């Protein structure tokens, strides 16, 4: 019986033209980017035609992607579209209107209130993205969270068919030789406190700075804080963080900006403790990267973080600087405790790596393609005419802004 089921699943795969992915942007070195490329490898190995359609991508990844507007020609009712949703976008709205079957892969949307006074545009994007997400409840054949926390969020938003596609991080980028300059600069007798992640408001990096300052002044003046992550588009938030460090008289806080994989390896290898204060995470891959690199993790127990840590590392609930600094010292001053924490973290990594990501993904694909499909989306008859006109206007706005400003205002 099992053999017959496998044969039937294979027949479904070969009868389908393509399983494509669409998302707003493909970033270099970020968690979503790693997952998208991993999914493509699995799908192509299983015999599917599979391309990645994006609105934007970092230049280093452009050769791996296609413009989302090309998806219109690649679309077909027998295809399956894996739609990665992390924010509202034009690519998302085009995907909604196409006749393909669809699975939504949800990476969570940060609540917009985190960006008030920090990034006005992102406030609107997050608000609209959350509202836009609800429209997919009836459009999707299946909605997948990349964590149980995200699956529950989908369920609360009214999605009738949900499941979890586990994040199984690819650690190969952490097996490279470390950047020797970074290693030589920071591998000394000082204690290195590390955070890895985008310098963005929901990460609560101001709290990390306060925790570190308390630890530095009360317990260990020969310590430094290294914050690894890109901050472009969030320069206002970065300015506030640097001002906070200055107000505290703290000169041992280092912001690296966006870095290479070799530099990232070096920072993990010189780190003595990974400190996370984030208030909103859909998964938080750097936590398990720190696990893999054998860095003890101390993290605030919020949203998806406890599920990601899977019983390993150390969680805290009390965010007073005195309490967190005491926990930092308890870990950093006790080598036997550090070894025990690292041992549990490596066990969590092994549990994560044991998950059959490829089999789970292909199982979901087979389940969608062999089952009844969701109703086709209700699209206005002139949708594609409006789409073409909107794209033409956007080209004028980008490349001929003076001409765009002189266009008549629509009644």
Please say if the pLDDT value at position 32 is more than 90: no
| Residues 339-357: tens digit of each pLDDT | 999 999 999 999 999 999 9
Please say if the pLDDT value at position 11 is more than 80: no
Q: What is the structure's pLDDT at 3?
A: 56
Which residues, listed in sequence order, are joined to residue 299 by a DSSP beta bridge? Answer: 276, 315
| Residue 135 vs residue 290, higher pLDDT | 290
| Residues 354-366: tens digit of each pLDDT | 999 999 999 999 9
What's the pLDDT band for 124 if we cut at 50, 70, 90? Answer: confident
Q: What is the structure's pLDDT at 406?
A: 66
Most confident of 67-81, 324-338, 393-407: 324-338
| Residues 187-227: tens digit of each pLDDT | 999 999 999 999 999 999 999 999 999 999 999 999 999 99
Please say if the pLDDT value at position 150 is more than 70: yes
What's the pLDDT band for 307 if we cut at 50, 70, 90? Answer: very high
| Residue 11 vs residue 338, higher pLDDT | 338
Task: Catalogue all structural domains in the chain, each as residue range(s) with its CATH number.
Answer: 10-168+356-392 (3.40.50.2000), 178-353 (3.40.50.2000)
| Residue 183 vs residue 233, higher pLDDT | 183
What's the pLDDT band for 185 if we cut at 50, 70, 90? Answer: very high
Mean pLDDT to the nearest integer, 145-160: 94
Please say if the pLDDT value at position 186 is more than 70: yes
Q: What is the structure's pLDDT at 277?
A: 98
Report CA Rg, the chain. 23
**Average pLDDT, rounded, for the chain:** 89
What crossing angle do the helices spanning 357-370 and 2-15 adopt, rounded to 10°? Answer: 70
């Amino acid at each position: 019986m099992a053999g017959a089921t496998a044969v039937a699943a294979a027949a479904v795969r070969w009868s389908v033209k393509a399983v494509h992915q669409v998302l707003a942007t493909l970033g270099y070195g970020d968690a979503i980017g790693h997952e998208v490329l991993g999914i493509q490898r699995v799908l192509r190995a299983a015999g599917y035609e599979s391309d990645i359609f994006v609105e934007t991508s970092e230049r280093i990844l452009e050769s791996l992607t296609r413009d989302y507007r090309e998806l219109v020609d690649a679309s077909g009712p027998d295809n399956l579209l894996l739609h990665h949703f992390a924010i509202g976008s034009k690519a998302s709205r085009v995907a909604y209107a196409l006749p393909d079957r669809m699975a939504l892969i949800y990476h969570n949307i940060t609540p917009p209130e985190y960006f008030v006074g920090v990034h006005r545009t992102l406030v609107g994007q997050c608000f609209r993205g959350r509202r836009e997400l609800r429209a997919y409840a009836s459009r999707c054949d299946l909605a997948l969270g990349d964590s149980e926390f995200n699956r529950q969020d989908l369920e609360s938003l009214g999605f009738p068919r949900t499941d979890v596609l586990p994040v199984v991080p690819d650690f190969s980028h952490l097996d490279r030789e470390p950047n020797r300059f970074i290693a030589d600069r920071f591998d000394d007798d000082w204690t290195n406190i590390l955070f890895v992640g985008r310098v963005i408001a929901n990460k609560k990096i101001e709290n990390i700075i306060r925790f570190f300052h308390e630890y530095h002044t009360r317990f260990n003046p020969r310590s430094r804080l290294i914050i690894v992550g890109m901050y472009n588009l969030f320069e206002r938030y970065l300015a506030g963080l640097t001002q906070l460090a200055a107000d505290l008289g703290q000169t041992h806080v280092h912001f690296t900006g966006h870095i290479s994989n070799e530099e990232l390896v070096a920072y993990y290898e010189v780190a003595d403790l990974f400190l996370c204060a984030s208030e909103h995470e859909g998964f938080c891959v750097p936590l398990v990267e720190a696990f893999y690199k054998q860095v003890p993790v101390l993290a605030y127990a919020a949203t998806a973080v406890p599920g990601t840590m899977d019983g390993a590392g150390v969680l805290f609930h009390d965010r007073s600087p005195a309490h967190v600094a005491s926990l930092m010292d308890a870990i950093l001053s006790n080598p036997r405790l550090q070894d025990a924490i690292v041992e549990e973290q490596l066990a969590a990594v092994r549990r994560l790596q044991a998950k059959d990501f490829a089999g789970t993904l292909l199982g979901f694909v087979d389940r969608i393609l062999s089952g009844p499909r969701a109703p086709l989306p209700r699209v206005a008859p002139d949708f594609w005419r409006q789409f073409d006109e909107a794209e033409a206007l956007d080209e004028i706005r980008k490349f001929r802004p003076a001409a765009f400003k002189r266009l008549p205002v629509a009644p």
